[in-house]
Amino acid sequence: MPGTEVRTWRLASGSAEPSPSALWFPNRASAHPKMAWRQLLLACCLSAAVLLTTLQEGAGASVGTQQEAGQDVREDVEQKIFMQESDASNFLKRRGKRSPKSQDEVNAENRQKLRANELRREYYEEQRNEFENFVEEQNDEQEERSREAIEQWRQWHYDGLHPSYLYNRHHI
């Protein structure tokens, strides 16, 4: 058909079909140096991973470390099983959940409750005092502003003929 063209793209190598290296690196006809660099990097990473896994297995397989680790575990187990004599006697003296509390336990709990109540009371008292001081300061500032406004009003409206209002009161 006239007016329709089929365009074929020619690559640097001269072929119409692009090679895989030309698809990855379109600016170069062959990309062997970069591909070799990537392959070298990949090979180094894989060899390092294999080396690390074999070293970890080798360290775990050595006889000396397993014997020392076994002794450490045995000592930990002994410490968990056996306890000091004083701790053992206290453990046996401990009361059950349903048994009544001793007077010492009751007294200790009451002291804790009284201390908590005292701290709470002091906190709220301090908060109340701070708020009262704040309100008092606000009221003082408001009174000062209103006193100044009244004084300015009197000075503005004073005609100079009569004494000011405060001194013009008739005492009975």
pTM exceeds 0.75 for this model? no
Is residue 130 situated within a structural domain?
yes
Is residue 89 situated within a structural domain?
no
How many structural domains compose the chain? Answer: 1
Q: pLDDT tens digits for 5-28?
A: 555 555 555 555 555 555 555 555
pLDDT for the residue numbered 58: 65
Is residue 115 situated within a structural domain?
yes
Is residue 27 situated within a structural domain?
no
Range of the domain at 130: 104-143
Dihedral sign computed on CA atoms, order 84, 86, 92, 98: negative
Is residue 120 situated within a structural domain?
yes
Residue 81 predicted with pLDDT over 60: yes
